[in-house]
Structure 1
Amino acid sequence: MTKSVAIIGTRGYPSYYGGFETAVRKIAPHLAESGWQVTVYGRDGATRDDDPARDARVVSTTTGGIESRSLSTLSYGFTAVLDALVHKPDVALVMNVANGFWLPLLRLRGIPTLVNVDGIEWERAKWGRLAKFVFRSGARTTAWFGTRLVGDAREIVRRWQADFGRRAVFIPYGGEEPGILPLESGLTHRGYALVVARFVPENTVAEFVEAARTIARSHDVVIVGSSGYGDELDEAVAELAATSPRVTWLGHLSDDRRLLALWQHAGAYFHGHSVGGTNPALVQAMLCGAPTVARDTVYNREVLGDSGVFVAPTPAAISEAVVDLLGDPVRQEALADAAQARAREHYTWADICRRYEAELTALVARGVRRRR
């Protein structure tokens, strides 16, 4: 019997926006290859339908919603759930606890859910008081109505057990080794600092931008990312790139090979994410062999182990660690090798996709037994 799955809560397939979208670009084709009927819900204009890597077996369905920072996830999630209620897949893979409010509808329709709870959204600095309340409430509803929960880091699994009394299965994010890629024009191998991040407070971008003023006195600096809304931080980075000849701002990159090449040849990659669990960008950087300086958090230590340099989230600490690493080729290669070996052991997409499929298959079988 062919099994069907609806994937709800991302910008669609294929999309290059963030971690959820990266996961769906890997999980959806894997499921299709295994014989599943896969439908990914998304937003109009948020996907690359001309992407040569797109799997034609994956059905992309767009629904309506309100395009704003505070309401987009809730509104698009709601309309996606309404459509899923009509088509009734065997199981739904739901991303983001903000969609927890709609899980009772799926349960009433008899659709079991596997919910990736992401990070601790209500602790993110970018959200105001109301948004934090919404995420916390959504998490509580997810704990009540989600059939099975996925935590992408062991610390996330621990937090959900402690805060909500719900067990979650640990499935991290993954990455792939890219092979040898060409060096970006104008840069030197292991000669530049790199940051790749969405421009939000918890990613330590503002602190890195200040640190970059010091780093750029002696080394090239490449900044990848944006807020997506033309915020003050975008303006500050644009000003820095315009006034410092050693700073390059590339904005948001949807060219995977170009981004992988930047990680592969970087001399020091700064990873400032502080609130999420296992971060896909960090895992991919490790598989590319990027010597990494990371903000000191329990999540980054869980992923990197002994293969990174950990710093306080201050411009002085960041610039000192990055400049020191850029001046130490031996340590660069030692960290690169250690990170790559660790990622190969724990964070490959092939293994992670199999684990997602196993959880979804178990939920379908559970639903079949219940109906019988």
Structure 2
Amino acid sequence: MMDVLEAQPEVVDAVRPALRVTMLGLRGFPKVQGGIENHVENLATRLVEIGCEVEVVVRPSYMAADVGRTWCGVRFARLWAPRTTGVETFFHTLIGVLRAGVTRPDILHIHGIGPALFTPLGRMLGLRLVVTHHSLDYEREKWGSFARWLLRLGETAGMRLAHGRIVVSGFLADRVRGRYQVPVEIIPNGIPAPNVEAGPAILRSFDLTPGRYILTVARIDPVKRQLDLIAAMRQARARGWKLAIVGSADYRDGYARAVSDAAEGVGDAVLLGHQTGTNLAGLFGHAGAFAMVSSVEGQPIAVLEALSYGCPLILSDIPAHREIAPAGTRFIAVGDVTDLAAAFEAAASGAAAEGIDAADRMRIAEAHDWTVIARRTLQLYHHALTDR
């Protein structure tokens, strides 16, 4: 199917009428943290630019007060959901699919294997469905056995019953093809062009010195293992360096409190909260190294962004990181705080992995261009419309 989709990319847009696309499976955007939120924000706006009519189903409690009914041409459908971990996504997706049964978009695009649990309902309603598999969420430590079973069921439903299937990485494609024997398209996450002119103003706000801090960017969540990063910073002999932790928690739970308490006990660990735009660009652009030690990822956008800024990388040794990391990346076994501390010391001493050279940065930019990703997604939509 890849060869079919890559043939004559411009012809499809020229001869087809505008598609009406509804997306769901996310909290909202703009300025809402999360990989799927980032993905949909960029994909939806690029699809509008190439002629689609895009509506995104969002949760009002996450939307900023100054965001209206549309944003960059994307229409928002605000549907209530209880803000309770474990049930929020379930109820919001159920309501969203039922609503799509009334509004009848040409394509209903479901993001994530949890929301994909409602793919059978979409089929019953006669909708044309595309599912993007972003991550093996059932491998996340925070979920109990029942939640993991539901996530596996969602993966099965989405991959078996959708008219079009997207995965964001090669290792996910291998897992899906091996398990379900179905065709899938690898359409990766994208990254914006790096803002190399972003200044260090945000650094002064948190007493960070350019080139002398290790940056991590992720939601405060057990799977991201911020406690390992803080523990490693406590052990490391890295005088004058700091650990800059960007991200916030969706819920003020025990893990979020533990991260806050641990950071308070380590003077060189700084919690910066959720950052976007110029502030985030400034943090990437002046970091001495970037660290991501998650136990599970699909294709982490934050790592791609760090690559685009040329940051030396310290990453957990998992398939999602191995697939995108360049030669010279420092890999750490998940949970190995001692080796992580040694990697921090190497960064502080100037012996860290080299930054990404210009040629690799250009290659990364071309492979993860959002406009190209949007065009490939549009082609898959057209094929999904004719799939039986």
Q: Which residue among 294, 297, 318 is the counterpart of 2:340?
A: 318
8 Å Cα contact 2:308/2:365 also seen in 1: yes
Aligned to 1:84: 100
**Structure 2 residue matching 1:301: 3-state secondary structure:** helix
- Kindly indicate whether residue 235 of structure 2 is the aligned counterpart of residue 204 of structure 1: no
Deviation at 1:15, TM superposition (A): 4.6
The answer as to 2:39 corresponding to 1:23 is yes
Post-superposition offset of 1:173: 0.5
State the number of aligned residues: 364
Distance between the aligned counterparts of 1:249 and 1:256, measured in 2?
A: 18
TM-score (norm 1): 0.91
How far apart are the structure 2 equivalents of 1:105 and 1:85?
9
List per-residue Cα deviations over 1:285-339 (Å, max 9, x = no partner): 111222110001111010113152111221111111122023217x565446576
| Paired residue secondary structure (1:97) | coil
Question: Which residue among 257, 264, 272 is the counterpart of 1:242?
Answer: 264
Residue number in structure 2 paired with 1:188: 209
Tell me which of 152, 165, 188 is aligned to 1:149.
Answer: 165
Distance 1:9 1:357 in 2: 19
Tell me if 1:357 matches 2:374: no
Q: Structure 1 residue 51: deviation in Å?
A: 5.8
d(CA) in 2 for partners of 1:232 and 1:338?
44
Q: Secondary structure at the match of 2:62?
A: coil
Tell me if 1:111 matches 2:127: yes
Q: Normalising to structure 2: TM-score of the pair?
A: 0.87
In the alignment, the residues of structure 1 paired with residue 355 and residue 196 of structure 2 have an alpha-carbon distance, to the nearest angstrom, of: 19
Structure 2 counterpart SS, 1:29: helix
Aligned position for 1:32 = 48
Q: Which moved more, 1:118-127 or 1:331-340?
A: 331-340
Amino acid at match of 2:142: K
CA contact (8 A) 1:13 1:60 kept: no
Deviation track 1:128-178 (CA, whole Å, cap 9, x = no partner) reads: 111001101111111221111111110000001112222210011011222
The residue type paired with residue 257 of structure 1 is: T
Residue matched to 1:296? 317
CA distance in 2, matches of 1:215, 1:222: 15
Q: After superposition, give the CA deviation of every residue in 1:215-248 in whole Å (9 maximum; x if it has no partner).
A: 4751112111233222333323323443443321
Contact 1:272 1:295 in 2 (8 A): yes
Partners of 2:246 and 2:271 within 8 A in 1? yes
CA contact (8 A) 2:226 2:259 kept: no
- Pick which of 108-117 and 154-163 moved more: 108-117
Q: What is the SS of the residue equivalent to 1:199? A: coil
Q: Which residue of 2 aligns with 1:232?
A: 254
Whole-angstrom distance in 2 between the partners of 1:286 and 1:150 = 23
Give the RMSD, CA atoms, in angstroms. Answer: 2.2
Q: 2:22 touches 2:105 (CA, 8 Å); kept in 1?
A: yes
Whether the 8 Å CA contact 1:267–1:325 is kept in 2: the answer is yes
Give structure 1 regions of 4+ aligned residues with deviation exceeding 6 angstroms.
none
Question: Secondary structure at 2:114's aligned position in 1?
Answer: helix
Q: Report the CA distance between 1:19 and its aligned residue.
A: 0.9
Matched-pair contact (CA < 8 Å) for 1:118–1:277: yes
Q: Name whichever of 148-157 and 26-35 sits farther off.
A: 26-35
Q: Per-residue deviation at 1:180?
A: 1.9
- Deviation, 1:212, is 1.8
Contact kept in structure 1, 2:311 and 2:355, CA below 8 Å: no
For structure 2, which runs of at least 5 residues remain unmatched after alignment? Answer: 1-16
